C-alpha cells in the first residue's frame, strides 16, 4: 500500500469512527454541516440530479461522457465505488486526487465537531466542498438511496432532474410499498425544474405525476415524449422534435439503450448537438455494468478453455431481468452454456434475482463477499437448486472460476461465465483480476 493510499484509508477510517456507516435518512444533519462550511452546495455549476432504482450510475456515466465530448468539465458524484473510494468523486472530469480528498474529508470532520453525520452524509459534504473549489461546467449527482431524504437532496434548485426506472430495493430503508418508494424518489423534484423519466409502471407514473403537479415540474416520460431503440445495428432516439440516428452505446445490453436514451434526452435539454451526443455514446466508460473482461489474472484462467468472462454489479430483481435478457440475446447470437458465479448481500431479494436466470443458466457457483454481510454460499446454492439450476459452492471467485474451467476442459463448447449479484463483489473481482 502506498503512503497516499495509507493516508486516505486513515482519513476514511477516522471519519467512520466519528460518523458511523449506518444509513439514517434525513437532511437536518447535512444541512447543519454544510452551513458550517459556508454552504458549498450552493456554489456548484448547473446540477443534473438523478434518482431511481436501476440505471442511475449508467445514466450519469453516459451524460458525463457526452458533456466531456462537448469539451465541458464535469463534476460527478456516484456511489458506491468498486475498487477505490476516489471513484465516487470526479472533480472537473478527473477522479479526485488523494491529497484533495484527504483535505476535504478532514475539514468536514473538524467542522462537524463530532456531530452525528452518517458516513454518506459526511462524504457527500466532502464532495460538495471539493466541487465548490474547482471550476467546472456541469455537476451530475446520483442519489445515494431514495431521494426526498437522501443527503444529495440538499440541492434546492438543480437545472434538470432525471428518474430512472423505479422498483424494489433497499426494503429495510424504503419498505415494500412501491408507491411509497416512488414518492421517496420523486422527492428530488423541485419547483418548476424539468424532470425526464425513464420507463415506469402505471402505479409509479401516477405517483410521479402527483409530485410533478405539486412542484409544477414539467415532466417528460419515456414512451410518450422520448424513447430509444435499436435498428439495423444502430440506436435510434426519438422525441417530439426529431429522430436521431446514433451509434450503439459502448455499454452492453438492451437496458443500456434505455439508460443512453434518457441521457440523450437530458443532453438535448442542455442543448448538446447530435454529433457530440454520438461521440459520447461511443466513449462512455462504466465498469462492472455487463462488462466483458478481456485481460487480467482471472481472464487468464478462463482462457484455458476459451471461455468468456462477464461482470455485472446488479443486485435486485429488476437488474436481473435486464442482465438475463442481455445474456439470452448473446445466446441467440452465439450459444454457450451460461454459468453464474454469484455473491449477494444477505438483505437482498436473492430468490427474486435468481428467478430471471431459471431456464437460462445451467449452473450457479455460490460465493461469499469479503468484508460484507453476504449470504452464505450454501444459501445461494440451495435457492439456485430450487429454481432448477445445478449448484455448487466455492470459497472465492478464483476458486469458483477454477472449478468451472476444470469442468469444461474436456468439453467442446466453452462456457460463458457471468459474475453477478453485487457491486461489492464486482469491486473484489476487479481487484483480483488486476
My answer on whether 261 and 339 are in the same domain is: no
pLDDT at 345 over 60: yes
pLDDT at 238 over 80: yes
Choosing from 233, 263, 283, the residue where a domain stops is: 283
Report the predicted TM-score, pTM, of the whole model to 2 decimal places: 0.91
Confidence of residue 9 (pLDDT cuts 50, 70, 90): confident
We report the CATH number of the domain holding residue 7 as 3.40.1190.10
pLDDT of residue 191: 97
My answer on whether 274 and 303 are in the same domain is: no
pLDDT of residue 10: 83
pLDDT of residue 7: 85
Q: How far apart are the C-alpha atoms of 42 and 264, rounded to whole Å?
A: 26
% the chain with pLDDT above 90 = 85
My answer on whether 420 and 352 are in the same domain is: yes
Pairing of strands 234-239, 226-231: antiparallel
Torsion sign across C-alpha atoms 194, 196, 202, 204: negative
Choosing from 233, 254, 283, the residue where a domain stops is: 283
CA diameter of the chain: 66
My answer on whether 182 and 38 are in the same domain is: yes
Q: Give the range of the structural domain holding residue 299, as residue numbers without chain letter.
A: 291-433
Confidence of residue 1 (pLDDT cuts 50, 70, 90): low
My answer on whether 101 and 196 are in the same domain is: yes
My answer on whether 238 and 297 are in the same domain is: no
pLDDT at 102 over 70: yes
- Three-class secondary structure of residue 97 per DSSP: coil
Tell me what the mean pLDDT of segment 99-112 comes to. Answer: 92
pLDDT of residue 117: 86
pLDDT at 138 over 90: yes
My answer on whether 224 and 340 are in the same domain is: no
We report the CATH number of the domain holding residue 410 as 3.90.190.20
Q: How far apart are the C-alpha atoms of 40 and 61, rounded to whole Å?
A: 23
pLDDT at 171 over 90: no
Choosing from 235, 250, 283, the residue where a domain stops is: 283
Q: What is the mean pLDDT of the chain?
A: 93
My answer on whether 92 and 236 are in the same domain is: yes
My answer on whether 276 and 310 are in the same domain is: no
My answer on whether 203 and 315 are in the same domain is: no
My answer on whether 238 and 172 are in the same domain is: yes
Q: How many domains does the chain have?
A: 2
Q: How far apart are the C-alpha atoms of 234 and 125, rounded to whole Å?
A: 41
Closest CA to 344 of 309, 296, 312: 312
pLDDT in tens, 271-292: 999 999 999 999 999 999 999 9
332: exposed, middle or buried (C-beta count within 10 Å: 0-12, 13-18, 19+)?
exposed
Laid out side by side, the sheet with 234-239 consists of 226-231, 234-239, 243-246
Backbone torsion region of residue 371, taken as left when φ is above 0, otherwise alpha when ψ lies between -120 and 50, otherwise beta: left
My answer on whether 298 and 219 are in the same domain is: no
179: exposed, middle or buried (C-beta count within 10 Å: 0-12, 13-18, 19+)?
middle
User: The C-alpha cell of 290 is what?
Assistant: 455487463
Amino acid at each position: 500500500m502506498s503512503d497516499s493510499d495509507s493516508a486516505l484509508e486513515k482519513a476514511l477510517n477516522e471519519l467512520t469512527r466519528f460518523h458511523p456507516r449506518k444509513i439514517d435518512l434525513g437532511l437536518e444533519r447535512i444541512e447543519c454541516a454544510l452551513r458550517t462550511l459556508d454552504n458549498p452546495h450552493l456554489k456548484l455549476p448547473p446540477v443534473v440530479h438523478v434518482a431511481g432504482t436501476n440505471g442511475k450510475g449508467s445514466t450519469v456515466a453516459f451524460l458525463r461522457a457526452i458533456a466531456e465530448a462537448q469539451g465541458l468539465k464535469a463534476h460527478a458524484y456516484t456511489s458506491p465505488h468498486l475498487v477505490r473510494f476516489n471513484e465516487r468523486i470526479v472533480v472537473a472530469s478527473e477522479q479526485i486526487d488523494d491529497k484533495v480528498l484527504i483535505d476535504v474529508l478532514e475539514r468536514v470532520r473538524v467542522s462537524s465537531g463530532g456531530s452525528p453525520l452518517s458516513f454518506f452524509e459526511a462524504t457527500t459534504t466532502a464532495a460538495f466542498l471539493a466541487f465548490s473549489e474547482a471550476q467546472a461546467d456541469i455537476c451530475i449527482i446520483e442519489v445515494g438511496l431514495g431521494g426526498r431524504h437522501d443527503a444529495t437532496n440538499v440541492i434546492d434548485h438543480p437545472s434538470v432532474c432525471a428518474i430512472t426506472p423505479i422498483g424494489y430495493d433497499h426494503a429495510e430503508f424504503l419498505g415494500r410499498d412501491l408507491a411509497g418508494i416512488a414518492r421517496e424518489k420523486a422527492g428530488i423534484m423541485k419547483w418548476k425544474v424539468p424532470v425526464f423519466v425513464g420507463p415506469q409502471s402505471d402505479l409509479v407514473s401516477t405517483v410521479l405525476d402527483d409530485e410533478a403537479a405539486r412542484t409544477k415540474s414539467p415532466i417528460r416520460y419515456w414512451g410518450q415524449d422520448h424513447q430509444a431503440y435499436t435498428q439495423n445495428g444502430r440506436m435510434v432516439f426519438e422525441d417530439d422534435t426529431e429522430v436521431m440516428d446514433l451509434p450503439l452505446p459502448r455499454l452492453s445490453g438492451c437496458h443500456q439503450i434505455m439508460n443512453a436514451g434518457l441521457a440523450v434526452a437530458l443532453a438535448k435539454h442542455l442543448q448538446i448537438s447530435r454529433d457530440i451526443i454520438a461521440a459520447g455514446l461511443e466513449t462512455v466508460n462504466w465498469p462492472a455494468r455487463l462488462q466483458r473482461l478481456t485481460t487480467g489474472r482471472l481472464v487468464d484462467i478462463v482462457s484455458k478453455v476459451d471461455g468468456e468472462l462477464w461482470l455485472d454489479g446488479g443486485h435486485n430483481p429488476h437488474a436481473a431481468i435486464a442482465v438475463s435478457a442481455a445474456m439470452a440475446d448473446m445466446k441467440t447470437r452465439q450459444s454457450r452454456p451460461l454459468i453464474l458465479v454469484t455473491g449477494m448481500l444477505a438483505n437482498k431479494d436473492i430468490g427474486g434475482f435468481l428467478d430471471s436466470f431459471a431456464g437460462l443458466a445451467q449452473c450457479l457457483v455460490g460465493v461469499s463477499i469479503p468484508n460484507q454481510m453476504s449470504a452464505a454460499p450454501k444459501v445461494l446454492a440451495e435457492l439456485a437448486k430450487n429454481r432448477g439450476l445445478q449448484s455448487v459452492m466455492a470459497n472465492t471467485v478464483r476458486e469458483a472460476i477454477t472449478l468451472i474451467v476444470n469442468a469444461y476442459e474436456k468439453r467442446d463448447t466453452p462456457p460463458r461465465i457471468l459474475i453477478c449479484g453485487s457491486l461489492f463483489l464486482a469491486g473484489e473481482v476487479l481487484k483480483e483480476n488486476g
